């Protein structure tokens, strides 16, 4: 499906992930208007696996919604209901939201679980 000159290292990618992306235009949009469209995007990805060379994730999942305000971009809201991955060196499940991404890009988030060990002393500068 992807031409060879654009494929790069994609041959190393093995996955059973399936993603669904729904995009809804929230108001009339004119491509020549000079602004971005107002829209809602819903991304859902049920639990699946992913391998890329030595990286092996036994669980990858996502459920994210973005409501983008084309008139007032700072009114955009991104809601992460679930984002997670499990592998040899990582295990996390997060949820959270981002409001006012331009004037106050603070992400409010919580986690059900978090494991992110360091295998070498130089790979982390702090603790989670």
pTM to 2 decimals? 0.77
State how far the alpha carbon of 62 is from the alpha carbons of 82, 92, 125, in Å. Answer: 5, 12, 28
Is 70 within 8 Å of 35 (Cβ atoms)? yes
d(CA 128, CA 122): 15
pLDDT digits (tens, 9 = 90+) for 62-72: 999 999 999 99
pLDDT digits (tens, 9 = 90+) for 78-122: 999 999 999 988 888 889 999 988 998 888 888 776 665 554 433
* pLDDT band, residue 41 (cuts 50/70/90): very high
Query: Judging by beta carbons within 10 Å of its beta carbon (0-12, 13-18, 19+), is residue 57 exposed, middle or buried?
Result: buried
Across 124-128, average pLDDT:
36
Q: What pLDDT does 115 receive? A: 66
């Amino acid at each position: 499906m992807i031409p060879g000159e654009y494929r790069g290292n994609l041959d190393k990618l093995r996955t059973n992930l399936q993603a669904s992306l729904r995009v809804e235009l929230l108001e009339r949009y004119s491509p020549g208007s000079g602004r971005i469209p107002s829209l809602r995007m819903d991304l859902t990805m049920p639990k699946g696996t992913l391998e890329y060379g030595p990286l092996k994730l036994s669980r990858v999942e996502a459920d994210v919604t973005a409501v983008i305000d084309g008139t007032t971009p700072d009114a955009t809201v991104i809601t992460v209901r679930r984002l997670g991955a499990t592998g040899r060196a990582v295990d996390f499940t997060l949820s959270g939201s981002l409001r006012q991404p331009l004037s106050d890009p603070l992400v409010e988030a919580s986690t059900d679980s978090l494991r992110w060990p360091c295998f070498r002393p130089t790979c982390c500068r702090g603790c989670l």
